[in-house]
Amino acid sequence: MSARQRAIIEFMLDNLVWLLLIVVLAAFSIGIPSYFQIGIFTNIIEDSTYVGVMAIGLAIVIIAGNMDLSVESVAGLTAMVTGILFCNGGIGLGYTMAPVEWLAIPVSLLLAIAVGGIIGFSNGLLVVKLRMNAFIVTLASYIWVRGLVLALSGGRSAQGMVPELRIIGIPIDPILLPPSALIAIVSFIGFSFLMRRTPFGRHITMIGGNPIATFRAGIKTDRLILVSFILAGAVAGIAGWLLAIRTSGATANLGVGMLFKAFAAVVIGGVSLKGGIGQLPGVYAGVLLLSAIQTAINLMGLPAHYTQLILGALVLAAMLIDTLKLQIRQRLA
Amino acid sequence: MKRFLRATLAAGAIAMAAFASHTAEAQDKGKVFYMVPTLLDEFQTASVEAITNFMKEVGYTVEAKNADNKTDLQQSQMNDVIALKPKAIILAAVDFNALVPSIEKARAAGIPVMIFDRQIKTTKSDFTSVAGTVEIGYVAADQIQGLLKTKNGSVKGKVLQVLGDPADPYTLEIQQGFEEKMKAFPDVKIISLPAMQWEASNAGTIVSDQLVANPDIDLIFVHAAHLAVAAVASLEAKGKKPGEVMLVSSNGAPVGLDLIRKGWENVEVEQPLFAQAAALAMFADKVINKQEIKPGKYDVLGLESEVTIESWGANIKIPGAAINKGNVDDTKFWGNLKPPATPIKPVE
Amino acid sequence: MTETTPLLQLDNIVKNYGAIEALRGISFDIARGEVLALLGDNGAGKSTLVKIISGGLEATSGRIVFDGIERNFTSPAEAKAAGIETVYQDLSLCTNVDVVANFFMGREIVKRFLGVPILQEREMQTVVEKAMANAGTRIPSMRTNVEHLSGGQRQAIELNRFVHWGGKLVLLDEPFAALGVEQTRRGLDMIKRIAAQGIGVVIITHIMAQAFQVADRMVVIRQGKVAGNVERAKTSPDEVVRMITGESL
């Protein structure tokens, strides 16, 4: 096989999920009445915002050869923090930054990033310094962070986001997308650039491939792994912030089940759970694909239990695709 | 962060102090465990407070065990609790059938089991206090028929029904009751979709999608108030004004009452949490002392409730109330989070 | 410092692990451009010695003079900065990225744009192509992931990378363990080419034939001591085996 042919096949494998997305969207547009319209497509993009942003951090940690199960709970926590501070109903305290009200946007966002980053830092520290297994460390965080949400809220909800924050979730007229969706798209572009075009991304990928080699080459692997966890936490923090804005509040179980979707998107998007392989644009396509299918289920009005059957089958399909791709790659080698 | 914690703790402490002064003189008759299925929603969280306080008024100390929505965890908690030989166990089962063996084991050990909120009909228990989930569906149907008639001249139109988790019998029974009563009106088209795991943003997505696919939706019926919050956020994002699309919700959580006050929501069908909990306290002495419970009508916190003797034992069914803008501030609704002023009196 | 001063001088290196003496006074020199085979049975102290040279362990006592300066490396990074590196089979490359990325691992060429360092891919590729061509190594594409390359090609990348980044002494641990006959032959050629550029090469191997094919000198370690230090021309495989096992002549 020539290098050129190999390059083409590699390119196809890398972008398989985009291809799949186009096929699925076309099939749904033909098969499901009222699917083919701008409003549905903007819904798909908007719906991909929250899981999508969460999946960015998860993907980076997985590419670095680790695992972060805590992202869902972290998003739940920052959503609750945002909700408690900037909602005026339920348990919300209804803070405003008057007289400069728009300041609530950067203040709440930075707070969400900080809270997420701190949890990511503690995860990373345990993994790097105490050499604890990332799966276990972040499983523990998945549990205790959700517990913290419960403690903060007392199991109650906040509702009625202050208007200066709500505008992030309300579509802008000509493009029909809310700023939140644009934040997700910009995040994907930014982090894709970070992963592909900067030494940081290059090193993270190499650590996922062979941590010993990178360590021996003088790359500060421990520091980078720690940074990857902080990033995952901070980005999950943004996801939670967006989630609170979208819901215009926060409930104690907000975000529950998103870890599964984020994982599915990451795997469907071509990131190998073994580490070192995968690109963020693919992950975004994976999130869009999941959301396109979920929207189709919503529109078809399938009986309740079908949703779970289909989502379960999707995850299996994702794993099969992952294995299949690995086999094709091995045959190429 | 610290500040919230402190604020939350302080609020909790004040509430506790208020209840404590209320009940200072009751004598201690022993310990009762409350097996709560989860603390991730407002109803369950409030149920712990309500049961603890009402039972205290009649002399029992309640300790709650949270099963985190896990059947196996609740089963093992039951085993542990049985070993501690409490005066009674109050069970709100994670799963209706899976807890049957645990109930039988407890009763065989001489510990009475009171069923709270989630009905179990397949085995004998000592006392059951439920709202009647099917009945919540009935009340909702009745209210929605009225709303549609007012808007469209007759009972017709399009209703989006957002269920909770499709694996939860609670939501399925509300759906059953609702659809049973709506069958008589073929001009009402009902679209039903589940919000997986009762997660609010899932409900938001459903509403966003359906507003595009079916722009002529007249009314949205969500099975819990916290889902209504996300539904409203989606309505708002689509440029809808309060009241433009009608909204009905069930369970009566505080956020639902807020939405009524703001004009987004028309009716909240309350799950009568306070009365359900109060009924347990009213009959606790009889259950624990193994005395006979007589069928008939009883007044529970002002709600006319009926005790019947069913194949599974004594059963009290408390009607859910419809909350609207007119009565939203009434303190008898648990969503206002003000415990009733009159202390609970045990049934003689 | 002249060309005749040894590249590396080991003077009475001792390493104790508690009461156990792993190395009991090792002394020998390596000249520039010399290929030295380090031989010895398992547990003789070879790997301890290699780690001390490359900064992975610190000696209990003794002197290391490298490039005319006395050194006391406390980490592999320090040794590497001075120009000493160990190349372990499969421990030096990330097979999930391409040749260029591996060549520049940790030393990427970047240009700062608004303070953000950005990889200069084309520039790096040119450098790698030139380095590979100079060493006579042929790899189809510098953009191929290393997992698709043969063992020999991988070794070529490692050694060329080492030379390119100013390496002076390379320690090769069982470099041909996983290679076929043809690849081994090319590998041996490459080692000679590298040595010809004035670089010191230490090969740790079990295979006597390979040692005799490529090494200028044999140093045998036995029970923590130098049991033999002979030029290839003045010895035979049989004699070296006897040094390793400690049988008397």
Nearest to A222 by CA among A214, B50, B77: A214
Write down the pLDDT at residue B7: 44
Write down the pLDDT at residue C32: 92
Residue-wise over C2-38: b if at least 16 C-beta within 10 A, else e? eeeebbbbbeebbbeeeeebbbeebebbbbbbbbbbb
**Beta strand pairing status for C217-222 and C225-231?**
antiparallel
Tell me if chain C has a CB within 8 Å of the CB of A230.
no
Mean pLDDT in residue range C3-13? 86
Give the tens place of pLDDT for each residue, C145-160: 898 888 888 888 988 8
d(CA A48, CA A65): 25
Contact C79, C125 (CB under 8 A): no
Look at residue C57 and tell me whether its pLDDT is greater than 60.
Answer: yes
Higher-confidence residue of C28 and C92: namely C28
Instruction: Return the domain boundaries, chain B.
Output: 11-131+272-318, 134-270
- Shortest Cα distance, chain B CAs vs residue A141, angstroms: 16
Decide if A206 and C97 are in contact by the 8 Å CB cutoff.
yes
Look at residue C1 and tell me whether its pLDDT is greater than 60.
Answer: no
C142 inside domain: no
Q: Please give the CATH topology (third level) of the domain spanning B134-270.
A: Rossmann fold (3.40.50)
C120 inside domain: no
Q: Which CATH class is domain B11-131+272-318?
A: alpha beta
Mean pLDDT in residue range C222-239? 89
Tell me if chain C has a CB within 8 Å of the CB of A89.
no
Decide if A157 and B191 are in contact by the 8 Å CB cutoff.
no
d(CA C111, CA C100): 17
Within 13 Å, how many C-alpha atoms sit on residue B321's CB side?
A: 24
Write down the pLDDT at residue B13: 43
C38: domain range?
A: 8-83+167-245
Decide if C118 and A276 are in contact by the 8 Å CB cutoff.
no
What is the DSSP annotation of A21-61? HHHHHHHHHHHSTTTSSHHHHHHHHHHHHHHHHHHHHHHHH
* Helix residue spans in chain B (DSSP H): 2-22, 42-57, 71-83, 100-108, 133-152, 169-182, 200-213, 225-237, 254-262, 273-288
Using pLDDT thresholds of 50, 70 and 90, give the confidence band for residue C89.
low
Nearest to B35 by CA among B111, B109, B134, B133: B111
Instruction: Return the domain boundaries, chain A.
Output: 50-312
Tell me if chain B has a CB within 8 Å of the CB of A198.
no
d(CA C87, CA C89): 7
Calculate what percentage of chain C has a pLDDT beyond 90: 37
Highest mean pLDDT among A257-261, B14-18, C135-139: A257-261
Give the tens place of pLDDT for each residue, A145-156: 999 998 998 888
Contact B336, B254 (CB under 8 A): yes
Q: How many domains does chain C contain in total? A: 1
* Residue C235 C-alpha from the chain's centroid: 23
* Same fold? B11-131+272-318, B134-270: yes
Give the tens place of pLDDT for each residue, A164-184: 999 998 888 888 899 999 999
Mutate to test the interface with B, among A40, A113, A144, A253 (most CBs of B within 10 A): A253
Write down the pLDDT at residue A74: 98
Give the tens place of pLDDT for each residue, C163-220: 888 889 999 888 777 777 888 888 888 888 889 888 999 998 878 888 888 899 999 9
Give the tens place of pLDDT for each residue, B156-211: 999 999 999 887 778 988 999 999 999 999 999 999 999 988 899 999 999 999 99
In this complex, whether C and B touch, counting 3 or more CB pairs under 8 angstroms, is no
Nearest to B197 by CA among A87, A137, A146, A107: A146
Highest mean pLDDT among A7-16, A63-72, B57-66: A63-72
Task: Tell me the pLDDT of chain C averaged across its residues.
Answer: 87
d(CA A61, CA A138): 11
Tell me if chain A has a CB within 8 Å of the CB of C111.
no
d(CA B79, CA B60): 21
d(CA C169, CA C196): 13
Mean pLDDT in residue range C84-105? 88
d(CA A208, CA B231): 41
Higher-confidence residue of A71 and B29: namely A71
Contact B300, B279 (CB under 8 A): yes
What is the DSSP annotation of B124-146? --SEEEE--HHHHHHHHHHHHHH
Q: For helices A280-300 and A38-63, give the axis angle rounded to 10 degrees.
A: 140
Cβ contacts of A108 on chain B, cutoff 8 Å: none
Sheet containing C84-88: give its strands across: C84-88, C169-173, C200-204, C35-40, C217-222, C225-231
Cβ burial, residue C229 (10 Å; 0-12/13-18/19+): middle
C105, C110, C141 ranked by CB distance to A217: nearest: C105
CB atoms within 10 A of CB C169: 25
* Helix residue spans in chain A (DSSP H): 3-14, 16-31, 38-63, 71-86, 104-128, 134-153, 163-166, 179-197, 199-209, 211-216, 221-247, 258-268, 280-300, 304-332
Mean pLDDT in residue range C38-50? 87
CATH number, position C198 = 3.40.50.300
Write down the pLDDT at residue A90: 82
Write down the pLDDT at residue B20: 45
Q: In chain B, which stretches have pLDDT less than 50?
A: 1-25
Task: Tell me the pLDDT of chain A averaged across its residues.
Answer: 90
- Structure tokens that stand for A119 in this block: 């949890």
Write down the pLDDT at residue B96: 73
Write down the pLDDT at residue B191: 93
Question: What ipTM did this prediction achieve?
Answer: 0.85
Contact A101, A167 (CB under 8 A): no
Mean pLDDT in residue range A176-205? 95
Using pLDDT thresholds of 50, 70 and 90, give the confidence band for residue C241.
confident
- Backbone dihedral angles phi then psi of residue A34, each to the nearest 5 degrees: 65, 10
Write down the pLDDT at residue A72: 96
Using pLDDT thresholds of 50, 70 and 90, give the confidence band for residue C104.
very high
| Residue ranges of B 309-348 with Cβ closer than 8 A to chain A | none
d(CA C90, CA C103): 14
Q: Please give the CATH topology (third level) of the domain spanning A50-312.
A: ABC transporter involved in vitamin B12 uptake, BtuC (1.10.3470)
